Amino acid sequence: MLYYNIDRYFFYNQCKRLHEVARRQNMKKKLKTVGIIIILLFSLSKASSGNEKKFRHVILKPVANANYISSSNITVQAWKALGRKDFKKAASYADDCIKRFAKKALKQQASLSNYAIGKKAFNYWALNDVGACMFIKSKTLCSQGRTREAEKVLQEIIDKYSYAQCWDPRGWFWKVSKSAKDLMTCIELGIDYGDYTSEILTKRAWDALGVGKYRSVAVYVKKCKELYEKQASMMQGSLNNFAKNDTEFKYWALNDTATSLFILGRAYYIQGKDKKAKRVFQEIIDKYSYAQCWDPRGWFWKVSEGAKDQLLIMNTGLDYGDYTSETLTVRAWNALENGDYDAVDIFTRKCIQLYQKSALKMQEKLVNYPQWKKAFNFWALNDIGTCYFIIGEAEMSKGRYEKALQAYKTVIRSYDFAQCWDQRGWFWKPAVSARKRINRIVKVQNINDIASVALEKERTSD
């Protein structure tokens, strides 16, 4: 029973709304009942307006109509059963709705030449609910491995109920036929869009890239871009620099859209489709320059910078690998041994760009060299100090002694406690070796570098 304080306008508006719902749902018996209630309540409320004490409350008892079954109620029950993975009940509800309302749905479909817009979509309740139930039915068939039957149901949605829309409780309609096409693609490729969020689509694109399923990568990225491109562009337009101070996650659509494109570019590159890869990486740089991607190791990296790196790699034939400081430093050493000084510059510059801040923080914590067992904990300091030493070596080999001196002095001044692991089983100190190089340059090349000589005397006196 429903219990209301008397308010004739409230009763009138409420009953008017019920009357409209009944009219739309073709509830002939209930229409008459609602009409009687409206007249009765309006009369009661009018009488009560002059005698509030006598008519203080009205108790309404809804009149049930056992013969009426709502398509929306059946559809809701079908969705709930699907959510519980009770596929038998979900299919039963879906079949019941289709059987009862398919004729009405087809009539509503025939009256449309495009999707109903806004609130008008609610007028096509039978079409929407039948389309949704057919989609639910296809999902139950997929869950049972009956993919061919599911594909037939999905194709029927596309052919007969193409303008059906399903209301999402989060506040919008989604197009059932488009989701049917998506599901057909998923069946074909053996993939799943999950909850369609940008986060899930991007994660699954990463996973597909990792196992070499490049067509699946393209499908995930296409869907992410289709759903979130507009929001990503709006977020990009609201920024004039990279988001900072824990606000990065607020720009989720921008971050995930750009990241998914980066994944696609990598997939193209691995397949040898360089032109397509370059086009995708350039799109990131041009349209999503402030996007950032969360690394599970605990930080954000700038997607547009990654895209620039990929373009550089494609133009030079080099590869940053997993972007760790260790990998970049090892590849810088290899390039130095091979006399590829351009590669030395590329690898050391990238390592310094990514890890210099961490290295300086580690240096500040030390007052002496850590023991060799603990030395590995200062990985960033070790690798950055080593990279500057490698730069000095490369510049010496090219005969550019002033630049070599600058690199060596950077090691001594900023990364004095860096240590480099030798594959033969020990650490050596880049700063100590840098001092020896400075003495050699000053002595052999007769360079009048007072600062270098003073620095060397100061260190050796210690």
Residue 66 belongs to a domain = no
440 contact partners, CB below 8 Å, separation of at least 6 = none
Q: DSSP character for 185?
A: H
Are residues 340 and 298 located together in one domain of the fold? no
| pLDDT tens, position by position, 387-418 | 999 999 999 999 999 999 999 999 999 999 99
- Of the chain, the percentage scoring pLDDT greater than 90 comes to 69
| pLDDT tens, position by position, 50-87 | 444 443 444 444 444 445 589 999 999 999 999 999 99
Are residues 44 and 119 located together in one domain of the fold? no
* Residue 90 or residue 29, greater confidence: 90
Are residues 329 and 382 located together in one domain of the fold? yes
What is the maximum span of the chain, computed from C-alpha positions, in angstroms?
A: 114
Q: Is the model's pLDDT at 45 over the cut of 50?
A: no
pLDDT at 24: 53
- Provide the number of structural domains found in the chain: 4
Are residues 298 and 337 located together in one domain of the fold? no
Are residues 210 and 256 located together in one domain of the fold? yes
Are residues 13 and 141 located together in one domain of the fold? no
Q: DSSP character for 117?
A: P
Are residues 113 and 178 located together in one domain of the fold? yes
Q: What gap in Å lies between CA 146 and CA 107, rounded to an integer? A: 30
| pLDDT tens, position by position, 348-381 | 999 999 999 999 999 999 999 998 789 999 999 9
Question: What backbone torsions phi and psi does residue 82 show, to the nearest 5 degrees?
Answer: -65, -40
| pLDDT tens, position by position, 124-146 | 999 999 999 999 999 999 999 99
Q: Is the model's pLDDT at 383 over the cut of 80?
A: yes
Q: DSSP character for 61?
A: -
Are residues 106 and 30 located together in one domain of the fold? no
| pLDDT tens, position by position, 223-233 | 999 999 999 99
Question: Which helix or strand (DSSP H or E) is residue 402 part of?
Answer: helix 401-414
H-assigned helices in 125-212 = 125-143, 147-160, 176-189, 198-210
Report DSSP letters for 298-344, one per residue: TEEEEHHHHHHHHHHHHHH----TT--HHHHHHHHHHHHHTT-HHHH
Are residues 144 and 238 located together in one domain of the fold? no
Q: Is the model's pLDDT at 457 over the cut of 70?
A: no
Q: What gap in Å lies between CA 182 and CA 154, rounded to an integer? A: 10
pLDDT confidence tier of residue 271, bands split at 50, 70 and 90: very high
Mapping DSSP to helix (H, G, I), strand (E, B) and coil, where does residue 174 land?
strand
Find the domain containing 406 and state its range.
Answer: 325-461
Asked which of 259, 283, 316 is the last residue of a domain, the reply is 316
Please give the average per-residue pLDDT across 240-253, as a whole number: 93
Asked which of 316, 341, 375 is the last residue of a domain, the reply is 316
pLDDT at 420: 96
Q: DSSP character for 66?
A: T
Are residues 331 and 455 located together in one domain of the fold? yes
Asked which of 158, 189, 220 is the last residue of a domain, the reply is 189
Please give the average per-residue pLDDT across 274-294, as a whole number: 97
Residue 137 belongs to a domain = yes
Residue 95 belongs to a domain = yes
Encoded tokens for 223 = 């869907």
Are residues 242 and 161 located together in one domain of the fold? no
Are residues 439 and 398 located together in one domain of the fold? yes
- Of the chain, the percentage scoring pLDDT greater than 70 comes to 81
